Structure 1
Amino acid sequence: MIRTDSLQITTDILSLIAGIDEFKGAWRALGTLAPDRLSALRRVATIESIGSSTRIEGSKLSDREVEHLLSNLQIKSFETRDEQEVAGYAQVMELVFMSWQDISLTENHIRQLHRDLLTYSDKDDWHRGNYKTTSNSVAAFDEHGKQLGVVFETATPFDTPRLMAELVAWFSEERETGRLHPLLLIGIWVVVFLEIHPFQDGNGRLSRVLTTLLLLQAGYAYVPYSSLESVIEQNKEAYYLALRQTQGSIRSDAPNWQPWLVFFLRALSQQARRLERKVEREKLVLAKLPDLALQIVEFTREHGRITMAEAIRLTGGNRNTLKQHFRTLVEQGHLVQQGGGRGTWYELR
């Protein structure tokens, strides 16, 4: 039984949800780029997601190597385990992006996605698509793929089928009643799934695929264009810590959902902010801004304001040339000038 009566909705959680939902609502306007640019954004995000998600589990392939591998997926033959895992992840990601409306969250579909995830992994032939038959545990890896140690002891093989049936039924009921905000519901589902760790291998990768699936089904249509997996990889220590802090209490009378939900929502918030910056940059490129002007606007968006001295350090440009760029950016409505003389600074309009 999954208990959420001890869940405290703090101002931090409320603020994160509000920000993510604000971006969700704004995406319709932000996502009006040309189809080819949206397609390019999605391809970059997909490469980042595949690379990051497999590296979290110990793979050593860089994003560039992942990109090269994806361009040759039609060969259907991969020599190393890392390549096999990347190919499987790519195939499942594409399936989710294309068919998310038709993939209901059932045990059968979860097992099918696991089977597809490991479809090229020769070593996993014996267990793919089936719940675990021997005990497993969550291990952490460093950037070189070396195991750092056990993070968490998981459910027993005997308990796994019952716990998975309970988890799927709980999610279906909660989604129907709408008692929990969709982001909280998805966050709790994911952390319980990882606490059960139902498959012999591939649980971490599958959890991130399922997160994307559930976010798409909840209306977060921008998800394919920004990599959540990349955010998690860059915050891997915090990821494992949040998992450990919450998972140790899940089977108690008062689970501590807070550590994981705060991490999860912050990761989603960072994912949205990254995409917002990318879209705004695309629009600036379409506005045919010169490179120096583009650098000025991007710095201002990142830091909130910019001065002439900062622009000179950033671009190495001539002061008079930069003055002209600032004047044009103000005239075109990209920037607003504040102050005067040596105290002049600029911010976004």
Structure 2
Amino acid sequence: MGAFADFPVLIRSKWVYFWVMIKTDSLQITTDILSLIAEIDEFKGAWRALGTLAPERLSALRRVATIESIGSSTRIEGSKLSDREVERLLSNLQIKSFETRDEQEVAGYAETMELVFQSWADITITENHIKQLHRDLLKYSSKDNHHRGQYKTTSNSVAAFDEDGRQIGIVFETATPFDTPRLIEELVAFVNEAVETKRLHPLLIVGFFVVIFLEIHPFQDGNGRLSRILTTLLLLRVGYAYVPYSSLESVIEQSKEGYYLALRQTQGTIRTEAPNWQPWITFFLRALQQQMKRLAKKVEREKIVLSALPEISVQILEYAREHGRVTIGDIATLTGVNRNTLKKHLSQLVEKGHLVLHGSGRGAWYALA
């Protein structure tokens, strides 16, 4: 067993395959990987200081990130809804009935993400919870009624799509339906054992989980979206509390070719004697780095903007972030300030590039630039 000679005897033999697969010497810990992990962990440690914005402003950041995440994650799988369309749809989630498949997928993703944000501490990594999250994800998808929350019964493969939603090729073949329950059981055991024993860095554990989960592709549909939700859940559970405030899905969407390439390069080797984890782990850590950098910039910009603007202007921006749009009537009702005064503040915010004016006259409204 080599590097595994000192592993606790409590590791049952049925899990040994996954432990051996991810043995220390199968991943070259390069200076690049070490540097990425150190940078991300430094931000994780500094988040308490960076995240000292008022609760309503953190809420606004999370709202924007959530919209970006939902839009990006569903577009990666072929949806055509823009972030603005996603935002409008989320404002009417109480409808509970959606005409198109894109809308159904967005609604399911939104509710599942919110469940993770609210209850991550109680959602342990178990097969039942994974199945439940899959069921919730496809809650509104009428064509998926027969298989949501259940492992696949027919073979599937991972396809890549272009920006118009057209399939451009098969990325890789996946596990058979027969092997899927056993492989997921092993994967869940690996993750929980690795987190408990701390023999691997948490970011590596999450990275390994995601790439193996997608290589198995346990469900008939929704695996990509679910993998990204599970990524957020795992990151929250291992202490990366800032992830709801910056969209990892958006980073992946903008690096989609690299995403598919890294998956293909690693997943084609997972079941071999010498799995090549390098492409995926490097891509994954760089995506986390970009997610972190985007959030750091947003927080810094928020602080600069707040320190330089009058209180009324700050209230206008807060309302726009919270509701997606703002009118003079909205702010007049909120603040009781004279409408002419509000017009001056709105004009200044437009001139400074904080807001964009839409429409004119009585129908005019403003949105964040």
The TM-score with structure 2 as length reference comes to 0.78
**1:277-298 alpha-carbon deviations (Å, 9 max, x no partner):** 00000000111169xxxxxxxx
Match 2:90 to one of 70, 77, 99:
70
- The equivalent of 1:4 in structure 2 is 22
Q: Please point out which of 85, 93, 112 is paired with 1:92.
A: 112
2:285 maps to what in 1? Answer: 265
- Per the alignment, residue 221 of structure 2 pairs with 201
Cross-structure match for 1:118:
138
CA distance in structure 2 between the aligned counterparts of 1:4 and 1:136, rounded to whole angstroms: 25
Which residue pairs with 1:34 in the alignment?
A: 54
Q: Distance in 2 between matches of 1:162 and 1:4?
A: 17
Structure 1: how far apart are the matches of 2:90 and 2:172?
Answer: 33
Q: Secondary structure at the match of 1:129?
A: coil
After TM superposition, the structure 1 = structure 2 runs for residues 304-323 of structure 1, keeping only pairs within 5 Å, are none
Match for residue 339 of structure 2?
A: none
Aligned 1:64-213 pairs, distance under 5 A: 64-213=84-233
Task: Report what 1:231 is aligned to.
Answer: 251
Tell me, in whole angstroms, the C-alpha distance in 2 between the residues paired with 1:151 and 1:289: 50
Letter aligned with residue 36 of structure 2? L
Residue 259 of structure 1 aligns with an amino acid whose one-letter code is: P
Instruction: Encode CA deviations 1:154-187: one digit per residue, 9 max, x unaligned.
Output: 0000110110011111111111111100000000
Q: Secondary structure at the match of 1:243?
A: helix
- Matched letter for residue 110 of structure 1: I
Q: Which runs of 5+ in 1 are unaligned?
A: 291-349
Shift of 1:108: 0.4
Distance (Å, rounded) in 2 between the aligned partners of 1:179 and 1:35: 36
Deviation, structure 1 residue 44: 0.2
Counterpart residue number, 1:297: none
Give the letter for the 1:4 counterpart: I
Distance across 2 between alignment mates of 1:77 and 1:288: 44
| RMSD after superposition | 0.8
Question: Distance between the aligned counterparts of 2:197 and 2:60, measured in 1?
Answer: 38
Distance 1:170 1:209 in 2: 19
Q: CA separation in 2, counterparts of 1:246 and 1:107?
A: 24
Counterpart residue type for residue 40 of structure 1: A
Q: In the aligned structure 2, how far is the partner of 1:251 from the partner of 1:289?
A: 57
Structure 1 letter corresponding to 2:228: R
Q: Which amino acid aligns with 1:235?
A: S
Partner of 1:301: none
**1:110 Cα deviation from its structure 2 partner:** 0.1
Q: Could you tell me how far apart the structure 1 residues matched to 2:180 and 2:196 are?
A: 24
> Which amino acid in 1 is paired with 2:118?
M
Paired amino acid for 1:178: K
Q: Distance in 1 between matches of 2:100 and 2:302?
A: 37
1:55 aligns with 2:55: no
| Deviation of 1:252 (Å) | 1.0
- SS of alignment partner, residue 43 of structure 1: helix
- What amino acid is the match of 1:30? L
Deviations 1:52-94 (A, max 9, x none): 0000000000000000000000000000000000000000000
Tell me the distance in 2 between the aligned counterparts of 1:35 and 1:169. Answer: 37
* Partner-residue secondary structure (3-state), 1:150: strand
Percent identical residues: 81
Q: Which moved more, 1:191-200 or 1:33-42?
A: 33-42
For residue 254 of structure 1, report the CA deviation from its aligned partner: 1.6
Which deviations, in whole Å up to 9, do the C-alpha atoms of 1:114-167 show, x marking residues without a partner? 000000000000000000000000001111111111101000001101100111
- Which secondary structure state, in structure 1, belongs to the residue aligned with residue 139 of structure 2? coil
Confirm or deny that 1:216 pairs with 2:236: yes
SS at match of 1:287: helix
Moved more, 247-256 or 96-105: 247-256
Question: What is the number of equivalent residue pairs in this alignment?
Answer: 290
1:276 aligned onto 2:296: yes
Counterpart amino acid of residue 160 in structure 1: T
Q: Which amino acid aligns with 1:142?
A: D
- CA–CA distance in structure 2, aligned partners of residues 149 and 120 of structure 1: 28
- Cross-structure match for 2:260: 240
4+ residue stretches of structure 1 with deviation over 4 A? none
**Deviations, residues 18-61 of structure 1 (Å, cap 9, x unaligned):** 00001001110000001111111000000000000000000000
